Chain A
């Protein structure tokens, strides 16, 4: 297999006509990291695919010990958000790499092709979300962010680094803002509680007064209900009340498992049932999530990737010491912040009211920094291991997976929806967490093997090939030159 990769690099150094993205331009390290990220993403998305519900997660968080909790906490600590961060990091680096392609006469300019690519990516995202029914899709958001960040590609590497830091800080700021919103929600709830208490007291007082005045029983009941009607909460107050109640409920373990049952029933239905259950979630991810969180979540890492590419991080230009240091500091800081987050999250789930009054920050306050450091640490570690020429066959398998990242991402959707959803095998909510991870491991192996074999015969993954054809508006041959 190791020869295989060398072969590929040699093949592609012969420029093929019309090919503006010869494989020699590819960076091995970017492919490896992308491969790891695309596989790693499944570790978290499998929860949503497979029906590892938030209620079950709440149970584990409140429990705080045992095998299941440890498994869950490790995933939260080591992978949650970090794999998407890695993906964004290489996506950003890829933007700069793509822009370096020279224009070819008779073909649209590189920049134009870039914009087309992003727009097709958005379209693929819509298909992934609304046709293949994966509401956790991120392709759409990556397409949008790729377009929004397009004007930044010419910025200096320092400027990009500063931009990445600023965006990360804004992201932290948003976390603080969300926490403040929760404070406000609680205050409003308290105010309404007071009103309700007062109404209750007044009602009792009135009842006594009325009964002393010698009212008939029927008249008394009528007066009571009249008073109740008069002092009913208005819609704003009702909204404020249910907002907080919903917030707290979302943190608790619901032993009746009502919502879970409803979810399972829907997910075990036919295609139409599942669609109706999921489409609004997908819309929310493409609209509200992108606007509130996604912009900052994705662009901070993309900008960092663009900057790091400029500094030569991915082309092995840092010294071994630097990679070692970045890996150690990044992973250590990330794990420390992650551990802090899990600890705070535990107290939040136990008693949010107490938490709000005691803790100055939300558990998510440093999450943007946590994921950035861990992702950077992981990337440095990978760079280091590649440099050490350690486990080379594994890196090559990852690289192949990364070169087929788009295909593999889609394939995960297809495999998981068909395995878990009702119109497929319907395993939604039927596997334990550990079983879900066995399933993930199977997919990993399948995807790595598939990717390596596919690249023996073809230049691009099937979806990558389709994407290219759409972007260039012509049909390319996908056969390898000497295969």
Chain B
């Protein structure tokens, strides 16, 4: 690639052009993402089964219920919404010049680098829950919609949501069909008749499926042993997991998951939601609506859906024609709107301006902070670092989260006193524009 002088070409966003509230919400979402990611970094994955099937009066259970009800999926959702908004921001103020790469090209270069950063995060930093890869891939679909009317963007978002729902329902139908076949086989065997080969197979299939859904100590022990090993072992161990999520995960789930929220985010940005352009009463209304409807749905999904499904999938399949997960996106959109509105209301009321500023700083360094979470957490938990993997209880993981939050809030504010961009933002920009960007203020 050639290098281009910055003067007569498309330029990076200048400090003054940044929208503070967008950064603030992004900072909030970025910190919040760790709430959902920390179990992946720090605890063996059979914990959820243990917590959900155990007594309901433990700290672990409360923590799990609270985190699921208020946050699950919403931080990623908010982050995706702002990613969509950021895509519009990136293209908005830039004008093509007669020669040299156009905004379109910079946009796609930027995303291609993002995809590579995602690969780096997954395969080098060893964070198997990376989202940068998906964001890069999803982002490539957004460009042609940057001038689309917000109404239509909303429709697109709902269409993507519909795809997810359809897939979920089809999967659920498949599962309930298996259950029905199993029930029939059991009924026949109760009458003492000989089962046909098909019925035997159906019975066996269901029982095996039921078994597969529960954590198997063979796998959890192996996971524990591997995650407490050295870098090379973990690297090799995670290759298939990373590859699966970057293929099947992206194709079946994350693509739609991301696009749903990105389109909605673009629509909301178009209406001025994230840029502080709506009235306080509008934000208050969305705060009430988002939480008022979102939290009950979320609690319902947790209490009636998740718990029952985990505790006895058979009974659950007998009882419901639809899976509670069909409400997943609905609840997450409402809760995300609630979170964002809450922040806007707090921002306007000027109660804690220092905190809002600090969040905006975190948001401005979102990319750096995201990768930093991978670096800190892998080093704290994995075997080649301090090896705290699976040594903390579930609720104790959140002490680590608070520590990381405080560190990132302070770090971001201090860093931005001296530098214009975060270190990884700087690298990303320099790669995108294929020219070293000025770093110092």
- Residue positions of A touching B, CB distance < 8 A: 109, 111-112, 115-116, 119, 147-148, 150-151, 154-156, 159, 234-236, 283, 286-288, 290-292
Contacts and interface: CB of A to CB of B under 8 A. Distances in A.
Contact of B108 (A109, A150, A156, A159): A150
Interface string B1-24: 110000000000000000000000
A151 B140 CA distance: 11
A314 B222 CA distance: 56
A97 B96 CA distance: 21
B248 A288 contact: yes
B144 A116 contact: yes
Contacts, number: 56
Interface in B183-231: 216, 218-219, 222
B177 interface: no
B144 A154 contact: no
B141 A287 contact: no
A112 B104 contact: yes
Contacts of A109: 96, 102, 104
A283 B222 CA distance: 30
B212 to A, nearest CB: 9
A289 B157 CA distance: 28
Nearest to B146: A112
11 contacts: A109-B104, A111-B105, A115-B104, A115-B108, A115-B144, A119-B144, A147-B108, A147-B140, A154-B105, A234-B218, A236-B218
Nearest to B113: A151
A235 B218 CA distance: 7
Contacts of A283: 251-252
B416 to A, nearest CB: 29
Given A287-B250, A291-B243, A111 B102 contact: yes
A82 to B, nearest CB: 26
B350 interface: no
B246 interface: yes
B105 to A, nearest CB: 6
Contacts of A156: 2
Nearest to B143: A115
Given A150-B108, A287-B251, A236 B222 contact: yes
A151 B250 contact: no
Which 3 pairs show the lowest CB-CB distances between chains A and B? A287-B251, A291-B247, A234-B218
A112 to B, nearest CB: 6
B54 interface: no
A229 to B, nearest CB: 15
Interface residues of B, number: 25
A153 to B, nearest CB: 8
B114 to A, nearest CB: 12
Nearest to A233: B218
Contacts of B180: none
A299 B382 CA distance: 36
Contacts of A292: 243, 247
Contacts of B102: 109, 111
B112 interface: yes
Contacts of A235: 216, 218-219
B357 interface: no
Nearest to A289: B247
A150 B246 CA distance: 21
Given A154-B2, A283-B251, 13 more contacts: A112-B104, A112-B143, A119-B144, A150-B105, A150-B108, A151-B109, A154-B1, A235-B219, A236-B218, A287-B248, A287-B251, A290-B247, A291-B246
A151 B105 contact: yes
Interface in B41-88: none
B101 interface: yes
Interface of B: 1-2, 96, 101-102, 104-105, 108-109, 112, 140-141, 143-144, 216, 218-219, 222, 243, 246-248, 250-252
B251 A286 contact: yes
A154 to B, nearest CB: 6
A85 B191 CA distance: 62
Contacts of A147: 108, 140
Contacts of A159: 1
A154 B104 contact: no
Contacts of B108: 115, 147, 150-151
Contacts of B143: 112, 115
Given A115-B144, A236-B218, A288-B247, A155 B104 contact: no
Contacts of B112: 148, 151
Contacts of B2: 154, 156
Contacts of A234: 218
Contacts of B248: 287-288
Contacts of A112: 104, 143-144
A116 B142 CA distance: 11
Contacts of B250: 287
Contacts of B140: 147-148
Contacts of A287: 247-248, 250-252
A96 to B, nearest CB: 14
Nearest to A236: B218
A474 to B, nearest CB: 16
Contacts of B141: 119
Contacts of B216: 235
Contacts of A154: 1-2, 101, 105
Nearest to B236: A184
Nearest to B110: A151
Contacts of B105: 111, 150-151, 154
A236 B223 CA distance: 12
Nearest to A288: B247
B168 to A, nearest CB: 16
A472 to B, nearest CB: 12
Given A283-B251, A287-B251, A111 B104 contact: yes
A155 B1 contact: yes
A147 B250 CA distance: 17
B252 to A, nearest CB: 7
A269 to B, nearest CB: 17
A286 B109 CA distance: 23
Nearest to B244: A288
A112 B140 CA distance: 12
A172 B304 CA distance: 52
A170 to B, nearest CB: 13
A303 to B, nearest CB: 14
A116 B112 CA distance: 17
A119 B144 CA distance: 9
Nearest to A122: B141
Nearest to B104: A111
A286 to B, nearest CB: 6
A148 B105 CA distance: 11
Contact of B219 (A150, A236, A286, A288): A236
Contacts of A290: 247
Contacts of B144: 112, 115-116, 119
A283 B109 CA distance: 27
A235 B221 CA distance: 12
A109 B243 CA distance: 36
A246 to B, nearest CB: 16
Interface centre among A115, A116, A155 (most CB of B within 10 A): A115
A226 to B, nearest CB: 20
